Every structure is written in C-alpha cells, then in structure tokens.
Amino acid sequence: MPSVTDLIERLESDAAAARPKESTPDVGVIMGSDSDLDTMQGAFDALDALGFAEQTDHADPPEGRFSYESYVVSAHRTPDLLYAYAETAEARGLDVVVAGAGGKSADLPNMTASIAFPLPVIGVPVQEKSVDSVIGMPTGAPITAVDAGKSYNAALSAAQILAREHPEVRERLVELHDERREGVGDVSAALHD
C-alpha cells in the first residue's frame, strides 16, 4: 500500500511526465475521509453511467477516451498531500475536480479550489453541517457547489464542463438525461396500472 510520501511523489512525477491528454484522467474525485465514500459513491455512479473508466495507474491508462481518478485527501491529516494534489491537478491533465468533505470544517473542497485555481472545482458537502463551509468562499476565490450529499449531480456538472469541448460527452449526458426523463413517465404510467 503506498504511503502518503509515495502518493505525493507519484503526483509530482505524473505532472512532470506531461502525458498526452488522451491518456490522463479527465475528472478527479477526492474526499476528506474514507467515511465519505458512501456519499461520494454517487459521483462514481454518474461517471460510470457516462462511460468514464476508472484510472488507477497513470502509466497504464484504461481503454476509452474519458476517465477519472479517485483519492482520499484529508485537508487536516495530510495537508501536504492536499497541496501536491491540487498543485499538480492541471499539469496531470485533469479538467475538473469533484471534492467532497464533511463536518464543520470541510476545508478540502475550498482549499483545493484555491490551490488548483483556475481549474474548476465542484464541492460536495458530505453532510448538512458542511454546507456553509463548502459554499463559503471569499470574493475572488470561486468554487461551484452542490447541495449536501449530491455527489451524483456534482459529477454530472463536471461532465457538463467537459461536454463544452467533447461532443461525445455531451451526447452521453443528453442520453442519460433522456433516460431519467423517460423513467418519470414510466413511474406515472405505473400509478395507473
């Protein structure tokens, strides 16, 4: 299992490698603790539904054009990892980061947005009590945020950013949207059966 120092070294060497965009992850999903995983699972579900592959080793990218990576990065337990993650995010090829944290000091999304600026960061408050922390950024330090727990929507928003440049992501987003729309019709029809 890699240590925090190993992870930092890997992030830095991936940034220095300047790999072609087709082989780097497009979306980064990070969370403050493994206890956030149940809430952040929605982000993975949305990215999977959109056809993004999980990339675990940047030197060995998965099949398919679009991928995401995931890390647990604690703003308080591993501030050095947070700094390395956010500072290398753009150079490692990411287009957008989805960052979730909970508790009253949910600093990970905000600090990631500050350090990775101008890369867009979408914050997910993991619980109700973390909403104020995640949306409470000062003027000039932007973050986009979803409501507490809405990591699925955060990943869709990340894909919407990518869709501006990639028609295939746009197409899949629209398909998924239509599937959900038809699902509402099916539920209504079932009421009358």
- 36 annotated among ligand-binding-site residues: yes
Least Å distance, CB 46 to ligand RP5, is 19
DSSP string, 3-64: -HHHHHHHHHHHHHHT--GGGS-SEEEEES-GGGHHHHHHHHHHHHHTTPEE-S-TTSPPSS
- 188 annotated among ligand-binding-site residues: no
Smaller CB distance to ligand RP5: residue 111 or 155?
Answer: 111
Smaller CB distance to ligand RP5: residue 32 or 93?
Answer: 32
Name the burial class of residue 37, with classes exposed (0-12), middle (13-18) and buried (19+) by CB atoms within 10 angstroms of its CB: middle
In angstroms, the first-to-last Cα distance of the chain is: 54
Least Å distance, CB 2 to ligand RP5, is 19
Q: State both tokens at 125.
A: 């408050």
From residue 80, alpha-carbon distances to 23, 75, 100 in Å are: 26, 8, 18
Name the site residues for ligand RP5 (rule: CB under 6 A).
Answer: 32-33, 35-36, 74, 101-103, 106, 126
Smaller CB distance to ligand RP5: residue 51 or 103?
Answer: 103
Least Å distance, CB 106 to ligand RP5, is 6
Least Å distance, CB 34 to ligand RP5, is 7
What is the three-state SS of 63-77? CCCCEEEEEECCCCC
